[in-house]
Structures are given as structure tokens and as C-alpha cells.
Amino acid sequence: MPADLHGLELTTDSDDAAAAYGDCVRAYLGFKLDTGEHLKRTFAADGEMPMALITRGYFFHLFCLPGLEAKAVQSREQAEAAIAQRGATKREKWHLAALAAWNRGDMAAATDQWERILLEYPRDVLALRLSHYSHFYLHGGAAMRQSVGRIMHAWDEGVPDYGYVLGVCAFANEEAGDYAAAEAAGRRAVEINPGDIWATHAVAHVLEMQGRQREGIDWLDGLCGEWGDINNFRFHTWWHKAMYHLELGQHDAVLALYDGEYRAEPTEDYLDVTNATAMLWRLEYLGVDIGERWRELADVAERHSQDAILAFADAHYMMALAKDGRDAAAAQMLAALEQASTGQGSQAKVLAEVGLPVCRATLALAKGDDGSAADLLLPLRDRIWRLGGSHAQRDVWAQMLCRSVMGAGRNQEARALLAQRTAEKPNSPISWRWYAEALAACGDGAAAAEARGRADQLLSG
């Protein structure tokens, strides 16, 4: 029985299939455009290889598209049939159980399976990467870091793909708030492989969280030449560069990157849509004219308004519908999400607890009803992480909360929230500006002037 680069046995008689499958997993770790090509090569060598069929099912789920959910189920059924014929290792059967859980929308149970695999097979990079993904949307940074903490003992510089594992370690630590550990791991991974976009992105997050905008721009400028063979994830990394420019008040650069990079193509990929919608929302808070850009996003959002696969994506689709005044589509979407929130899957709970109130607040904001939005968002302020995504991505909802409270004239609450924000983001000029606004509204002119001074000082670099 062939084994992969990490010593894990694969149920196939074909060494070619095992080799192509290894290329596929490595390409997946690297967000490479040719990931699917390697999977096709695998099937050309062995059309019924269990791990290849299971992996295809995982990949279908990762797109978060309703049309591919049935194909993910089909892949699992084919894997079951193949395993009934030729058998499978214990590890492969656990992967099958993970896919079956995901098929029924139980991402938490799927994650439990991957974590079970990792206890015994800490070099199963596929289980590691999928668990990393699932924790990201379901359990938050602490779980991501705990997951990585259980496998690093099995990895060192001499093990193939160590760099990719360091990249996972870096992002997990960043989301858990250990920026020093995250930056060290991420920078080492990029030294090993400058094309490792996940590690590049992990360091970009550290620089975002610490308000090191100018360093962030230089970091990504120095590495973007490596992204020629990267899939849509490169758009998200360009979005990070735009986030630095946004904080520095360089709005033309944000829009140039919007049109030239992270929304240069009108794709349907949910992450691409979240990048664009959340950036337009932020730009409008800063009074930037974003032209007709909502319309194209609202078209995409309308097509996905009934998906209800990932609450994080749904919350962004709602932004586009609300801002483009698609009242009927927004109402239909809300009804679909209410229905979905009564389901049994992991995302149903996320929708019920956080997704729905966030969507309702989004609609209220677009109608100018700041008070209602504030009432909806205020109780969620410490639970918004349940919606999934990164700290940097979720900050759009922290901004919504601050601006809705300010818009409703609730000055004391605004001062408190912005005091918290500037304490957490002392290098954020936007936060100091808003804090100054809130302090002035509370009648504290001296403190407002000091806050404005902090913003000016940061912008003058």
C-alpha cells in the first residue's frame, strides 16, 4: 500500500494515483489554481481511490455553493462504495465519517472527526487544514490554536511541507491574539516558501491587528509577485493591502485596488464578495463616493440570497442587498435565513444566535434607523465572533455598532465603545477620529482635541 510524503497509507494499487493525490493536497495547502488538475490526474490513475473521492467531497463543500452540495454527497456515496469493495484504513474511514457529517451540515461533528484523526496522525495535513478552516468559522481563534498545539510535536524543518504547517500555526496564533508567535512562525514559513500565501496572509493579519499599516503595504508589495499561480485567495490578500491604505486615509488606493485587484473580476466566490462588500461599507462610513459599485455586488448577492450555507457569507450578501435598495430580495432572504435558522446543522445555530440579528441590523442601518441597529448589535458585541471569520473581517460589525450608536445620538455609549476601540487599536487613525467625534458630542472638547491629535500624529507617520 503506498504512503504519502508524511507516511500516511493510501488505499490504492496505483503509485501514480498516490503521487498525484499528494500533489493535489500540497496544491490545496498552497491555494494553487491547479489543485483540481491534480485531483483529475489522481482519478485518471485510480478512479475509485477512497481518499481522492473523500477529498473531492470536501472540496465541493468548501465552495459553499448549493449546486455543489449534492456533488459532495455523491462523492461520499462513491467513496462508501469504493471502500465496500476494496476496504480502507482506519484513518480513511474517519475521513469518510467527517465528510458524512459535513454532508448533513454538521460541521462541528466533522471537526471532531478531523481532530480525532490528528491525535493519532498529527501529520495528516488535510485533516489539519480542514479543521483549521472549520474552527475559523465555528469555534474561534482559541480552538484554532489548541488544534495546532496538538500536532506541532510531529513536525520540524526536516519534514516535507513543514512551511505550510507553520503557516497554519501562524494564523491560528494570530487569531488567538499571540501576535509575536504568529509573526515568527509566518515569517519563517515565507522564508521557506515565498509563495506560501497563507503564511503571508497570517503575517498581514498581525500587521493589521497591530496597526502597522506601512509595514503591511511593504510586506505584501514584496511578495505579490509570487501569487501568479494562486487561486481567488489572492484577492483576499489584496484586500488586506487595501485595508492598510484605508486606515491611512489613502482612499484612491483602496478604490484602485478594488477595481484592479480584489474586485477586478465579478466572481461568485463568497470570500471575494465578502472582501468587496465589507470594504464598500467601510468606505461609505468615511464619506467616500463609491459610485455604482453596490449594484454589481447586489446582483451576485441576490443570486445567493437563498443559499444559507455559511452565515458569515449571508451577512455580507445582506449588506449588498440593503445598500442597493433591493427591499424585496432582502425580505425574501431574511425569510430564508429565518427558516434555515431552525435547522439542525452547525450554521443554523450561528444564524439564530448572531447571523439573523446582524442581518436585521444591516437592513435597519441602510434605512437610516440607527437606533434599532444599535439595539440589535449592542448585545452581540462580545459574541460577534460566533459568526466566524477573522478579527479583521468582523471589525466591520464593530464599526457598524459604533456608528449606529453615534448616529442615534447615544453619546455616552459611543464614548464607551470608542474608548474600548482605541484601547484595543491604539494605532488606528480612524478609531481616534471617531473617538474625537464622540468626545466632542459628550461636550469634552479638550479630550476630543487630544484624540484628534493622536489621529493626526499617526497619519503623519
> Between residues 181 and 352, which has the closer beta carbon with respect to Fe ion?
181
What's the min distance (Å) between Cβ of 392 and Fe ion?
6
Burial of 16 (0-12, 13-18, 19+ CB in 10 A): middle
What's the min distance (Å) between Cβ of 211 and Fe ion?
16
> Between residues 18 and 182, which has the closer beta carbon with respect to Fe ion?
182
Number of residues that bind Fe ion (CB under 5 A): 1
- 253, 242, 315, 234: which is closest to 279 by C-alpha? 242
The C-alpha atoms of residue 270 and residue 278 are separated, in whole angstroms, by 12
> Between residues 204 and 334, which has the closer beta carbon with respect to Fe ion?
204
What's the min distance (Å) between Cβ of 53 and Fe ion?
31
What's the min distance (Å) between Cβ of 203 and Fe ion?
11
What's the min distance (Å) between Cβ of 320 and Fe ion?
19
> Between residues 113 and 200, which has the closer beta carbon with respect to Fe ion?
200
- In one-letter notation, the amino acid at residue 158 is G
- 254, 221, 261: which is closest to 238 by C-alpha? 261
What's the min distance (Å) between Cβ of 204 and Fe ion?
7
What's the min distance (Å) between Cβ of 402 and Fe ion?
21
- In one-letter notation, the amino acid at residue 7 is G
Please give the radius of gyration of the chain, using alpha carbons only, rounded to the nearest integer: 23
> Between residues 392 and 441, which has the closer beta carbon with respect to Fe ion?
392
Nearby residues of 445 by Cβ (< 8 Å), 6 or more positions away: 439
- 313, 306, 349, 345: which is closest to 104 by C-alpha? 345
The C-alpha atoms of residue 434 and residue 141 are separated, in whole angstroms, by 28
Burial of 119 (0-12, 13-18, 19+ CB in 10 A): exposed
What's the min distance (Å) between Cβ of 201 and Fe ion?
6
> Between residues 94 and 171, which has the closer beta carbon with respect to Fe ion?
171
Burial of 67 (0-12, 13-18, 19+ CB in 10 A): exposed
> Between residues 35 and 390, which has the closer beta carbon with respect to Fe ion?
390
> Between residues 390 and 422, which has the closer beta carbon with respect to Fe ion?
390
> Between residues 11 and 390, which has the closer beta carbon with respect to Fe ion?
390
Stretch that binds Fe ion, among 64-72, 131-139, 186-194, 383-391 (CB under 5 A): 383-391
Under DSSP, the state recorded for 9 is B
Stretch that binds Fe ion, among 59-67, 97-105, 282-290, 386-394 (CB under 5 A): 386-394
Stretch that binds Fe ion, among 8-16, 61-69, 253-261, 385-393 (CB under 5 A): 385-393
3 forms beta bridges with 9
Stretch that binds Fe ion, among 134-142, 331-339, 371-379, 390-398 (CB under 5 A): 390-398
Does residue 197 contact residue 42 with C-beta atoms inside 8 Å? no
> Between residues 98 and 280, which has the closer beta carbon with respect to Fe ion?
280
What's the min distance (Å) between Cβ of 205 and Fe ion?
6
- In one-letter notation, the amino acid at residue 420 is Q
Residue of closest CB approach to Fe ion? 390
Stretch that binds Fe ion, among 213-221, 353-361, 384-392, 438-446 (CB under 5 A): 384-392
Contact mark string toward Fe ion, 132..171, x via CB under 5 A = ----------------------------------------
Burial of 36 (0-12, 13-18, 19+ CB in 10 A): middle
What's the min distance (Å) between Cβ of 15 and Fe ion?
38
- 201, 193, 204: which is closest to 162 by C-alpha? 193
Stretch that binds Fe ion, among 7-15, 345-353, 389-397, 421-429 (CB under 5 A): 389-397
- 191, 258, 271: which is closest to 230 by C-alpha? 271
360 alpha-carbon distance from chain centroid: 22
Question: Which residues would be at the binding site for Fe ion (CB under 5 A)?
Answer: 390
